[in-house]
Structure 1
Amino acid sequence: MDLDAHGGNKGVFHRLSGGGGGPRGNHNDSNKNQKVCFHWRAGKCNRFPCPFLHRELPPPNSSASASNGSHPAKRGFSNDSGFSGHPAARRTPNFNSSSTWGRTGNNRVVKKTDKLCNYWIQGNCTFGEGCRYLHSWSSGDSFSLLTQLEGGHQKVVSGIALPSGSDKLYTGSQDETVRIWDCQSGQCMGVINLGGEVGCMITEGPWIFVGIPNLVKAWNLQTNADLSLSGPVGQVYAMVVGSDLLFAGTQDSEILAWRYNAATSIFEPAASLKGHSLAVVSLVVGANRLFSGSMDNSIKVWNLENLQCVQTLTGHTSVVMSVLCWDQFLLSSSLDKTIKVWAATERGDLEVTYTHQEEHTCMIQGLLKLCGMHDLEGKPLLLCSCNDNSVRIYDLPSFSERGKIFSKQEIRAIQAGPGGLFFTGDGTGQVRVWNCKAEQPTPAT
């Protein structure tokens, strides 16, 4: 590897070595209509006082089911890891099995300021604290910016990897480099020049895999092995490890698979999965299945035992940018501006059980990247980056919004870390480190 010493960084994120407006309570109900506020359910009510109830009405009887949608099936798609593909988030999710998708909890309302001040970004807003627009890179009180890594990439950050047990963070970019950051000081410790744009980056055990045009680079942090896996045609957009195989989704619509041979210390070609008609841009493994999202607007489901396609999901109307397994569900995001939740039927096939779409989508041209993690209380969160230069953070399964993260350009890379940390990389090359904060108790009424 071609390592060059690189400059420092004044930001520090020591927590790696160790492992907006506030919530509102229910208002006085004595003079309210006995009707639940639609905007409160969506986490968007900004009326004070509000003429409608900010709490759920009790059911007519104990045996009645919830009225806001049917309960998704809990069969045929179990996965004990909770979120798959994220080692730092592999914990059993803590949620009520009777919850329904899209229901807003009765104790989480985000007081939102949705527009970032352009003058503040440029450093010359004269209104100061009196400005009506946001002077912060985030809204909501459940997380905060820990630090931003200075002196970094010059183009889009397309991959972030935090190897288990390592004190280094690795970031890849379309500027054809991988940068190595020290987790104690936040300084850039080295630059690896690849000679090709980084399309994706993952880590598994001691290995780091980087996808570039026509090649996958593999580095072993324990043995210092430096391998090149040939076979891809065009850019490698997505990778995942499952069933002792490394899978790579490529620009020419194929999914290539390699198996590591310990005797020869090389990765040997194992299979080529064909079925998509356009580039494969997202991959995830869960429940003994490989799921692939493509520019052909479809998701294919592959049996990991025989590597055969067992189903094609066609619910999206544009590019499927990201797929994620959570518990017994598959989640997918697309440039059609929706997140779809898929659950298994009695036959074992997947079908859409819930579709989430932002109420105000005029500024959003599509959804880019999904990332799953848990907050400090073990509650599951979904992070979704949008191409309006923001990341929405949702509770699961309610999809109530905790807040947003903002950036100067699109955030193309999100990675969960330990202890409530997560990392984002945007189109300017900026890498930021965030941390979840302990949830504030709901004020008494």
Structure 2
Amino acid sequence: MDLDGGNRRVFNRLGGSSTAAPDSSKNQKVCYHWRAGKCSRFPCPFLHRELPHPSGPAAATANGSGAPKRFADDSGFSGPALRRGPNFNNNHNNSWGRMGANKVVRKTEKVCNYWVQGNCNYGDKCRFLHSWSLGECFTLLNHLDGHQKVVTGIALPAGMDKLYTGSKDETVRAWDTNTGQCMGVINLGGEVGCMISEGPWLFVGIPNVVKAWNTQTNQELSLSGPVGQVYTMVVGNDLLFAGTQDGTILAWKFNAVTNNFEPAASLKGHTLAVVSLVVGANRLYSGSMDHSIKAWSLETLQCLQTLTEHTNVVMSLLCWEQFLLSCSLDQTIKVWVATESGNLEVTYSHKEEHGLLNLRGMPDSESKPVLMCSCNDNSVRLYDLPSFSEKGKIFAKQEIRAIEVGPGGLFFTGDGTGFRVWKWAEAVPKP
């Protein structure tokens, strides 16, 4: 993977040498018309290449030989949590983001619009990307179209050869995982706000109701109670929780006798819509448009703590061993750790250039933990943890609102044009 500065990477790709002396016969300015891809002057008095990135002590520091500290090879996600690795210790501040000070800042990349349309004439010399991703550690397997609006949920029910996607176009689509063909479309009459699967059950949140399908028996249920859009769902302690537009978290419990889901609780405390839920360490965590995170006991369903360090909507939450990760439209990812009193405190905060929409975690091909976070600049960043050093980047035409992890090193991203299937590249054996 190329970790050099973006300017130098683009310059070298165009055939220049970062150590070559400037061409004294030309004005040392980059041609404005060349930048726009339409310079017709030959010879042109201005440069048809990017200027090399300045060298100096900072560059030497950024390209030093010290490798980012990572967790041991046997660390990996197990369900919603990560197994404890030997590099976990009580001095958490010395682990998270350790390489942040030396992290290389990459020039902002953009996918070539002409390449997308199939008619770019510049080929390898194009200064825009002819790829939907950056990074050599994963590959694109397939891009499946069909939805007319942004994909908001991706689910893979256990023991099935089908994948389900839900969208704001008010439909759920079923896909054959072997052929990639769409097997059917369900019209719901309302925008899909979220979708999850648990065992054979598929749950879909739409305005004022949660739809539940048993994918083995084809039983269909409607769980009433939500007020407004259902934005997020999670299962914990045999309860189905749903975060709703009016700020309430509703809970249902499955009754095997009646073969139905019955209302179990209503959790109130947020003042605006609940848009993210996660379960971990015998707690339910909720993120809201009111900028707060609440921790609830799964046993008593009482609120234990309210976290107010974010300054905008808390879009996504991820539980990882004793850590809680949160992302927000305030452009930060925060890492929380429990103190001796049991309360959570921020142990590290990672800043992005754009608002953040979704978090997922999984092991790469070397079983090392990777964080995937989608941003509202139509991209997904992939980071090694705990260093937060960039591992790759995925691009799309529209916002990527759904990320899901699959078996065998697969993961999925959904945007406004459909969803893509990705796979981690096989690890190269060490000599």
Give TM-score, length-normalised by structure 2. Answer: 0.80
Counterpart-to-counterpart distance in 2, 1:293 and 1:96: 29
Change (3 A) 1:22 1:294: closer
Report the secondary structure of 1:120's partner residue: helix
For the pair 1:354 / 2:344, whether they are aligned, the reply is: no
Matched with 2:382 is 393
Aligned counterpart, 1:103: 98
Deviations 1:265-313 (A, max 9, x none): 0100000000000000000000000000000000000001100000000
Aligned to 1:122: 117
Instruction: Give the deviation of 1:113 after TM superposition.
Output: 6.8
Determine the structure 2 residue equivalent to 1:375. 364
Secondary structure in structure 2 of the residue aligned to 1:292: strand
Counterpart position of 1:147: 142
CA contact (8 A) 1:217 1:226 kept: yes
Bigger Rg, structure 1 or 2: 2
Q: Is the 8 A contact 2:384 2:391 kept in 1?
A: yes
CA–CA distance in 2 between the matches of 1:171 and 1:46? 43
1:204 to 191, 198, 206: 198
SS at match of 1:397: coil
Greater RCO (Cα-Cα under 8 Å, separation 6 or more): 1
Deviation at 1:56, TM superposition (A): 3.5
**Residue 432 (structure 1) aligns with:** 420
Give the SS at the match of 1:101. Answer: coil
Matches within 5 A, 1:157-168: 157-168=151-162
Measure, in 1, the Cα distance between the counterparts of 2:315 and 2:356: 7
Task: Note the C-alpha offset of 1:112.
Answer: 7.1
Tell me if the contact between 1:209 and 1:218 (Cα under 8 Å) persists in the aligned partners: yes
CA–CA distance in structure 2, aligned partners of residues 81 and 404 of structure 1 = 21
CA distance in 2, matches of 1:394, 1:351: 22
Residue 408 of structure 2 aligns to a residue in which SS?
A: helix
Is 1:55 aligned to 2:44, yes or no?
no
Q: Which amino acid aligns with 1:96?
A: N
Report the 3-state secondary structure (helix = DSSP H, G, I; strand = E; otherwise coil) of the residue aligned with 2:124: helix
Of 414, 419, 435, the residue aligned with 2:403 is 414
Return the offset for 1:437: 1.0
The code of the aligned residue for 2:328 comes to S
Rounded Cα–Cα distance in structure 2 between residues aligned with 1:241 and 1:330: 17
In structure 2, the CA distance between the partners of 1:95 and 1:385, relative to structure 1 (3 Å rule), is farther
Paired with 1:112 and 1:439, the residues of 2 have a C-alpha distance of: 27
Are the counterparts in 1 of residues 76 and 369 from structure 2 also a CA contact under 8 Å? no
SS in 1 for 2:115: helix
Matched, 1:222 2:216: yes
Match of 1:335 in 2: 329
SS at 1:129's partner residue?
A: helix
From the superposition, tell whether residues 415 and 284 of structure 1 become closer, same or farther in structure 2 (CA, over 3 Å).
same
Query: What amino acid does structure 1 have at the position aligned with 2:231?
Result: Y
Alpha-carbon deviations, 1:346-376, whole Å to 9, x = none? 1110010000013xx2xx2x10000111112
- Partner amino acid for 1:165? G
> Given residue 327 of structure 2, which amino acid in structure 1 is its aligned partner?
S
Distance in 2 (CA, whole Å) between partners of 1:375 and 1:258 is: 35
Identity rate, percent: 68
**Matched residue count:** 372
Q: Name the amino acid aligned to 1:382.
A: L
Go from structure 1 to structure 2 and tell me whether the alpha carbon gap of 1:374 and 1:93 turns closer, same or farther (over 3 Å shift): farther
TM-score normalised over the length of structure 1? 0.78
Q: 1:131 is matched with which residue? A: 126
Q: Which moved more, 1:375-384 or 1:271-280?
A: 375-384
Per the alignment, in what secondary structure is the counterpart of residue 435 of structure 1? strand
State the distance in 1 between where 2:288 and 2:78 align. Answer: 21
Q: Does the CA contact (< 8 Å) of 1:372 and 1:380 recur in 2?
A: yes
The equivalences for 1:290-369 within 5 A come to 290-358=284-352, 361=353, 364=354, 366-369=355-358
Q: Distance in 2 between matches of 1:350 and 1:378?
A: 28
RMSD: 2.8
User: Partner amino acid for 2:171?
Assistant: T
Asked whether the 8 Å contact 1:389–1:406 carries over to 2, the reply is yes
Give the Cα–Cα distance (whole angstroms) in 1 for the partners of residues 296 and 406 of structure 2. Answer: 28
Return 414-423 or 94-103, whichever deviates more.
Answer: 94-103
**Aligned 8 A contact 1:93 1:380 in 2:** no
Partner of 2:259: 265
Task: State the Cα deviation string for residues 326-359 of structure 1 (Å, max 9, x = none).
Answer: 111000000000000000111110010000013x
Deviation at 1:92, TM superposition (A): 2.1
Residue 191 of structure 1 corresponds to which residue in structure 2?
Answer: 185
Amino acid corresponding to residue 161 of structure 2 in structure 1: D
Q: Return the alpha-carbon distance in structure 2 between the equivalents of residues 440 and 368 of structure 1.
A: 32
2:147–2:416 Cα contact (<8 Å) kept: no
1:174 paired with 2:158, answer: no
Q: CA offsets per residue over residues 180-220 of structure 1, 9 Å max, x none? A: 00011000000111111100000011111000000001111
- Which amino acid letter does the alignment assign opposite residue 391 of structure 1? V
Cα distance change of structure 1 residues 91 and 301 upon mapping to structure 2, 3 Å threshold: closer
How many angstroms apart in 2 are the aligned matches of 1:224 and 1:196?
21
Mapped partners of 2:220, 2:312: distance in 1: 37
Amino acid at match of 2:419: V
8 Å CA contact 2:135, 2:391 repeated in 1: yes
